[in-house]
Structure 1
Amino acid sequence: MTTTNTRVLLHSRPEGEPTPENFEIDEGAVPEPREGQVLLRTRYLSLDPYMRGRMSTAKSYADPVELGQVMVGGTVSEVVESRDPALAVGDVVVAHAGWQEYAVARPEHVRRLDPEAAPISTALGVLGMPGFTAYAGLTLIGRPQPGETVVVAAASGPVGATVGQIAKILGARAVGIAGGPEKVAHVEELGFDAAIDHRAPDFADQLAAATPDGIDVYFENVGGHVWDAVLRRLNTYARVPVCGLVAHYNQTELPPGPDRMSMLMQQVLIRSLTVRGFIQTEFVAEHEARFLEEASAWVRDGRLQYREDVVDGLANAPEAFIGMLRGQNFGKLVVRVS
């Protein structure tokens, strides 16, 4: 086994959009596991929008990555050395090893995978954190009823695509919003009732045509002009799970224009809207096992489809991450490390 551990460190904090200079490729020593630990080799690394927030010192739901430290991230890893009987060499696990080739962990902090049940990379996507985010936000906050209309932004991405397909499984109408003709076509292939390009000049008119009875559930991943158009279409008692606001992650100041907060709060009041931000970890203990059971069955029988965007090589992670924030990825973005 090599004695060198390739790592991607946070070199500096971005001002606005991240740049390659914010990252540093480092060659360190492979860590040695202590008693009760295992040594993991990363096979796949997940790249996700939340990581942009962890690069900043702005107040958030999680502590920022310190300068000079390994970037955080979920991984699918293989046990290459074990000093705990709970895991054996060759076991494949979901871990939180970050942007590095090797890491140590305790068995209670990882989840063992069955490589025969599904491709192991799905544990970072449709059967992992993004899939569970979609499931928890939609079923526990959105609570769509048969015949209701569910709209989801970033519908070709790993969260949005899963939201729309689960909405269909639950008997609701699914309307997906995506960026560009190719992504819109993919959303249609997934079986959504309608797919709309948010870059179209008549986007708001297309949204109105696709939601003639209004919107009962809007799964928010984006913000920006998409939210502006959706707000006008929300029905009384509509539910809005707020999962992400990727359109705003790189902003360094408030957007121009008048303060519209009072208008938003008025709409929340007069339409009895439920707007609920959430982080998927708050639901894990009680609901993850049920998600894995149901979603695994849906994947096996073809009702829940997924798409992956695979980048080879840890050194290419910074460029891939920057592109993801620009909307350049197509499907769940993962880095094949080893």
Structure 2
Amino acid sequence: MNKNILYICGSRNQTIMLHRISRNIPGYNHYFTPYYADGIERVAARLGLLDFSVLGGEFYRQSTEYFATNNLQLDFRGEAREYELVIICSDLIIPKNIKGKRIVLVQEGMTDPENLPYKMVKKLGIPYYFGGTAATGLSDMYEIFCVASEGYRELFEMKGVKPEKIRVTGIPNFDNCAENLDNDFPHKGYALVCTSDARETYKTENRKKFILKAKGLSEGKQMIFKLHPNENVPRATREINKYAPGSIVYHKGKTDEMVANCDILITHYSSVVYVGIALGKKVHSSFDINELHRLAPIQNEGASAGIIAGECLKLLEVTVSKSVENNLDNVRIAGMTA
């Protein structure tokens, strides 16, 4: 009988990543679930108080919609069966029912700045999610952590992640940026501005200042704004029309293809900057550009999902070997006591 693997998804990016990995692991039953939590976080999610996060709202809707569209097997909260392996894109919350199981963590994308909340997580031991994605990897509750590049390996090691757990595999969705050059997006040669959902996730952002700064960096080119999927669209659109009139605004569409056709890419804190770097675009970010080049994900023509799957299979083989060894030990003990 085939054994089971659980994939705990979240954003659309995370869900697509994990689906791609699952396609490269034959001989197992694959089950998917939206991101979930226990205790007070679960109660808050049920009340709609966490709709700005992967525990609800637009992120939850997008992941469940993706499951249905791609005919993926759903096991909500992973409660219906036992699992040989759990694969996740975030360890900021580790649900109780996967603690003690074999877990593989896959880096989702860019990590947040190491700000005051992150430092409080490190010093005071408050829940990891208060530190945002800057706290990725700090749980140490996984056996393998698959990361985007050697630069990120160094970054996570500096944060305190155990070096022996890190594998530089590249990450799906960011490992074959050249494929986006073949597209039918109707515009070319513009300045693309990708916004963030900082305000929706209770972080600070001066949107007026950001828009005016982007306007100054656009070099007189047509400005196209691509809104974050989690963003308040009416509010963001009003602000753009006020401070950068004449701009084109999209809140849906394939962002990576928009990057492929632009001349200039302007972001605040967004993983999409790595697509621009890989494609040789002129990029602007609130992060240090030289540091972003150092961290940029490996480009391996889309091989990362298969490489990560290989790491998972190695781990599963160890699990099987240990299971056989334990069974043999039990047989020996039974024989000695017979």
Q: Could you say whether these structures have the same fold, taking a TM-score greater than 0.5 normalized by the shorter chain as the test?
A: no
Larger Rg: 2
Could you tell me the TM-score, scaled by structure 2's length? 0.29
More helix by share: 2
More strand by share: 1
